[in-house]
């Protein structure tokens, strides 16, 4: 039993020893793999404890228990030390991670500070350049003209009367007194009161409306001592009466200098021309022109008054499309009674009649024998050599609206260059959209000094009548519609209403004298805050720019120079102002159509204000961000936001604009009747932020030309749009090279509805677009004037009716003026604002209204002005592999 018990005891001891050794081995491995380094004191203590282990085989059972307990104590002590070391290691790792994060943050901050330092260096360099330019500039800044007037004594001088022969030789240089019309006078005109001088005008309708429209003209003055031009309304008077009454005019002063005798007829049978009397130095404006009496470049030919007094007249115009109408050519009229027929005229009529029986699919209405029908209210007979139109005005309009071309035959008497009847047929044709075909190259057309009629009228000698059909068929649809569109422009702008006619008479004479028009009025910018309230500010707004990307220098506000081309605009671009994109009735601070200098002029004599990249050597990265480059001198842009009771969204949008290069100002249009809360904290973004109180809640306010906007470039932004700083700057750089167009981010499309033959508004993705939304788009301030004062009022009323479509209206306007599509920049298509309230654009009625807007606007313009484009602008070097030592213009664009 003792042997067996001893054997079993040894077995238990052996098992215990194996278990202890296993535990020690596990602990050793754990210490080896989990502790990279022991503290020296702890390791020393552990080794001392391990060294006391003896050969357990030699121990008795009674001592073995003690050793096991001792080893267990050692294990517990080691485990405790291991946990302490693990906790300390974790703490050290957290500290190391925090230090690494601090290092990365410091590196990022260093990069930001270095970028900011570079921007400050750029800003200093730009300021030094601007200072040097200011010193070198040898001409004053041209501003709005200061009006200078003649002395009052100028009207007291009475000059001797001119002879009839001297009067017939009058030209501007011979008979006009320029001393009364200084270049900076603003061209004031004085209208003799038609009620006092009513004996000069027999038509009370014209007398009333002409006086009214002249009263609306900004050049009209009630002070004759300041007047440059004196206007007298003349009616159907006898030769004797006119000769006796002219010298009695208060300011005639012997020779009638600087007087205009305005003889306006009402329709085709308004009366004969003014009697051929001695009018001295006075000019004559009437619808009649006879070679021996008409004084070219002195007298004016004007159309008859055939429209309403003023207002929108688009309803009276027919649609321009289709180009080819049912009739190719129409004419209804007969030669007035007793007129002799020249052989050429007989041949013209005979050849035109053969067109009716020719083997052609073209259709004609050519009637030369219809009975003469004069209005019952008029007894004045036409000249004996004129072609009198048939029927009533409404019946003729019906035929003309179905005609591609309208034939107008010149009088058989070649000495007659113009009559009210000829010009009335011209105006009727333009109004109906039938391209006028004038047979008779001796005809004189209205305002021919300023209006280029060959873009709207086919003017041929009568000898070309045999080739007329060939010429008409050879004109393609695009040229035909261009002529029709130009005809509408001339009719609507210069002769479609009494107001347009009187304004054109004044502007035509002013243009002769090279006097600039009066400046266009700007909208005042009343602040939404009272004069004593100081809004709260938020300082230290953090910009969103990338740390390693410098977008440009920080500059002080720099308004765009104004009125630099007061006296040269009509010299170099007078044709465009009258016949294309311009408004010849007003002077604008800047235009998007200003001509460009040759590239070398920036370096040879005309470099003031220019900032070429790399001083002309080009470059990328830093050189690019240092300068605007391009073809125009330096400038800035204004951000315009329209908001309505979304204060926090607005404030966040303003804050995102901090640090933007070339930002001049932020203008917020406060459309809400409630003022902003007094405790709102407005972000300080380094540039002025003006909050303008809108007169009423209208989306049209977005495009009012406020005087607070001092730059040519306007960035129209919705208060919930989120644009990156580099996108804004890139859009601005693109706009500088496309100044006459809308340059924006979200694109849209006008789609044709095959089922209903109408237009739809399309916001889906498409490989073509025709609009960019003005919720994020650059445009020139000139278009703000045109939108607010020049565009048909019916369009602005439709915008107010729907509280929608103002962006579509601006796209229509710019495309109509330029005949160019907008420019889309970057890949942005739509904009989302996380956390913003649901916008109007998410309502289904929003799209239905936009469908209606597009069709209504095209009806107002008479055609669809929008043009398709498949073009998008991205930055040069975008996605281009470049050397490691070069940088792209923009990293993400």
Which residues are marked as active site? 807
Q: Is 112 exposed, middle or buried (0-12, 13-18, 19+ CB in 10 A)?
A: middle
Burial 39-49 (b: 16+ CB within 10 A, else e): eeebeeebeeb
Neighbours of 268 (CB within 10 A): 25
Torsion angle defined by CA atoms of residues 228, 234, 237 and 240, in that order, rounded to the nearest 10 degrees: 0
Sequence-separated (6 or more) residues with CB below 8 Å from residue 830: 746, 763
What is d(CA 174, CA 665) in angstroms, rounded to the nearest whole number? 52
Q: Is 724 exposed, middle or buried (0-12, 13-18, 19+ CB in 10 A)?
A: middle
Q: What is the DSSP-derived secondary structure letter of residue 372?
A: B
Q: Any idea which residue has 């501007």 for tokens? A: 172
Take residue 811 and report the two structure tokens written for it: 């796209």
Burial 483-499 (b: 16+ CB within 10 A, else e): bbbbbbbbbbbbbbbbb
CB 230 within 8 A of CB 271: no
CB 419 within 8 A of CB 336: no
The two beta strands, 259-262 and 229-233, are parallel
Residue 249 CA: distances (Å) to CA of 227, 259, 588: 15, 10, 36
The two beta strands, 416-418 and 289-290, are antiparallel
Torsion angle defined by CA atoms of residues 830, 834, 838 and 844, in that order, rounded to the nearest 10 degrees: 30
Q: Any idea which residue has 């080794």 for tokens? A: 47
Torsion angle defined by CA atoms of residues 739, 740, 746 and 748, in that order, rounded to the nearest 10 degrees: -160
Return the percent helix, strand and coil in the chain, to nearest 5. 40, 15, 45
Q: Any idea which residue has 């400050």 for tokens? A: 120
CB 772 within 8 A of CB 824: yes
φ, ψ of residue 719 in degrees (nearest 5): -70, -10
CB 670 within 8 A of CB 643: yes
CB 702 within 8 A of CB 559: no
What is d(CA 131, CA 45) in angstroms, rounded to the nearest whole number? 78
CB 511 within 8 A of CB 570: yes
What is d(CA 220, CA 213) in angstroms, rounded to the nearest whole number? 10
Q: Under the phi-then-psi rule, with left for phi > 0, alpha for psi from -120 to 50, and beta for the rest, what region is 601? A: alpha
Alpha-helical segments (H) within 557-658: 569-572, 574-579, 622-626, 647-655
Neighbours of 312 (CB within 10 A): 17
What is d(CA 144, CA 780) in angstroms, rounded to the nearest whole number? 19
Say if residue 472 is preceded by a cis peptide, omega within 30 of 0: no
SS3 626: helix
What is d(CA 706, CA 691) in angstroms, rounded to the nearest whole number? 12
CB 102 within 8 A of CB 536: no
**H or E stretch at 361:** none
SS3 855: helix
CA atoms within 13 A on the CB side of 784: 30
What is d(CA 83, CA 79) in angstroms, rounded to the nearest whole number? 6
């Amino acid at each position: 039993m003792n042997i067996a018990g001893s054997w079993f005891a040894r077995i238990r001891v052996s098992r215990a020893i194996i278990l202890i050794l296993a535990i020690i081995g596990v602990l050793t491995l754990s210490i080896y793999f989990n502790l990279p380094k022991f503290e020296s004191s702890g390791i020393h203590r552990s080794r001392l404890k391990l060294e006391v282990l003896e050969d357990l085989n030699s121990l008795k059972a009674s001592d073995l228990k003690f050793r096991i307990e001792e080893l267990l104590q050692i294990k517990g002590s080691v485990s405790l030390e291991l946990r302490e070391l693990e906790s300390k290691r974790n703490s050290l790792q957290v500290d190391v991670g925090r230090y690494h994060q601090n290092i990365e943050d410091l590196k990022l901050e260093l990069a930001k500070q270095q970028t900011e330092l570079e921007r400050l260096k750029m800003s200093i360099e730009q300021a030094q350049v601007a200072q040097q330019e200011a010193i070198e500039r040898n001409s004053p800044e041209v501003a709005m003209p200061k009006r200078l007037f003649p002395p009052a004594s100028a009207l007291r001088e009475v000059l001797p009367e001119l002879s009839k022969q001297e009067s017939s030789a009058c030209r501007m240089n011979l008979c006009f007194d320029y001393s009364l019309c200084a270049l900076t006078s603003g061209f004031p005109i004085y209208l003799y009161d038609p009620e006092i001088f009513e004996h000069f005008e027999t038509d009370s309708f014209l007398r009333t409306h002409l006086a009214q429209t002249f009263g609306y003209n900004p050049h009209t003055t009630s002070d004759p001592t300041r007047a440059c031009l004196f206007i007298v309304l003349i009616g159907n008077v006898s030769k004797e009466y006119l000769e006796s009454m002219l010298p009695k005019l208060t300011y005639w002063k012997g020779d009638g200098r600087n007087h205009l005798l305005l003889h306006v007829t009402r329709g085709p049978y308004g009366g004969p021309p003014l009697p051929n009397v001695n009018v001295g130095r006075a000019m004559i404006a009437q619808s009649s022109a006879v070679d021996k009496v008409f004084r070219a470049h002195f007298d004016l030919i004007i159309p008859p008054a055939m429209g309403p007094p003023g207002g929108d007249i688009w309803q009276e115009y027919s649609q321009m499309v289709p180009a080819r109408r049912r009739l190719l050519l129409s004419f209804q009229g007969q030669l007035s009674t007793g007129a002799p027929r020249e052989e050429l005229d007989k041949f013209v009529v005979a050849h035109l009649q053969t067109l009716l029986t020719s083997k052609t699919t073209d259709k004609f209405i050519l009637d030369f024998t219809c009975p003469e029908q004069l209005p019952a209210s008029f007894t004045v007979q036409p000249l004996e050599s004129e072609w009198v139109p048939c029927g009533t005005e409404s019946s003729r309009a019906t035929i003309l609206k179905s005609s591609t071309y309208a034939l107008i035959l010149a009088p058989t008497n070649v000495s007659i260059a113009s009559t009210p009847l000829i010009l009335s047929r011209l105006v009727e044709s333009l109004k109906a959209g039938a391209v006028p075909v004038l047979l008779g190259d001796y005809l004189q057309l209205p305002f021919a000094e300023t209006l280029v009629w060959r873009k709207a009228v086919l003017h041929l000698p009568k000898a070309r009548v045999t080739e007329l059909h060939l010429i008409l068929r050879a004109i393609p649809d695009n040229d035909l519609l261009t002529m029709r569109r130009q005809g509408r422009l001339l009719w609507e702008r210069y002769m479609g209403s009494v107001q347009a006619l009187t304004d054109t008479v004044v502007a035509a004479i002013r243009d002769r004298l090279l006097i600039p028009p009066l400046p266009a009025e700007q909208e005042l910018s009343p602040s939404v805050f009272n004069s004593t309230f100081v809004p709260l500010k938020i300082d230290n707004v953090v910009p969103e720019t990338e740390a390693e990307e410098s977008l440009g220098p920080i500059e002080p506000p720099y308004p765009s120079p104004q009125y630099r081309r007061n006296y040269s605009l009509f010299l170099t671009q007078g044709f465009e102002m009258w016949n294309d994109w311009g408004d010849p009735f007003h002077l604008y601070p800047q235009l998007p159509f200003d001509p460009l200098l040759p590239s070398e002029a920036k370096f040879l004599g005309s470099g003031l204000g220019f900032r070429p990249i790399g001083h002309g050597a080009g470059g990328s990265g830093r050189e690019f961000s240092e300068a605007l480059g391009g073809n125009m001198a330096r400038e800035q842009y204004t951000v315009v936001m329209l908001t309505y009771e979304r204060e926090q969204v607005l404030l966040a949008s303003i804050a995102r604009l901090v640090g933007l290069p070339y930002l001049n100002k932020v203008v917020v249009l406060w459309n809400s009747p409630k003022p902003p809360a007094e405790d709102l904290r407005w972000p300080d973004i380094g540039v002025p932020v003006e909050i303008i109180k809108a007169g009423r809640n209208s989306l049209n306010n977005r495009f009012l030309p406020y005087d607070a906007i001092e730059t040519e470039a306007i960035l129209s932004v919705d208060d919930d749009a989120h644009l990156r700083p580099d996108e804004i700057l890139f859009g601005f750089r693109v706009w500088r090279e496309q100044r006459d167009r809308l340059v924006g981010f979200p694109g849209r499309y006008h789609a044709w509805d095959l089922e209903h033959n109408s237009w739809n508004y399309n916001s889906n993705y498409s490989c073509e677009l025709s609009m960019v939304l003005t919720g994020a788009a650059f445009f020139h301030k000139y278009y703000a004037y045109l939108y607010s004062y020049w565009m048909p009022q019916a369009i602005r009323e439709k915008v107010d009716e729907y509280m929608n479509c103002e962006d579509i209206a601006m796209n229509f306007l710019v495309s109509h003026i330029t005949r160019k599509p907008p420019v889309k920049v970057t890949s942005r298509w739509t904009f989302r604002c996380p956390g913003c309230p649901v916008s109007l654009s998410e309502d289904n009625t929003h799209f239905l209204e936009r469908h209606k807007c597009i069709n209504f606007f095209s009806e107002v313009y008479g055609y669809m002005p929008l043009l398709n484009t498949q073009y998008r602008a991205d930055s040069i070097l975008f996605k281009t592999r470049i050397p490691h030592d070069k940088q792209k213009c923009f990293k993400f664009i």
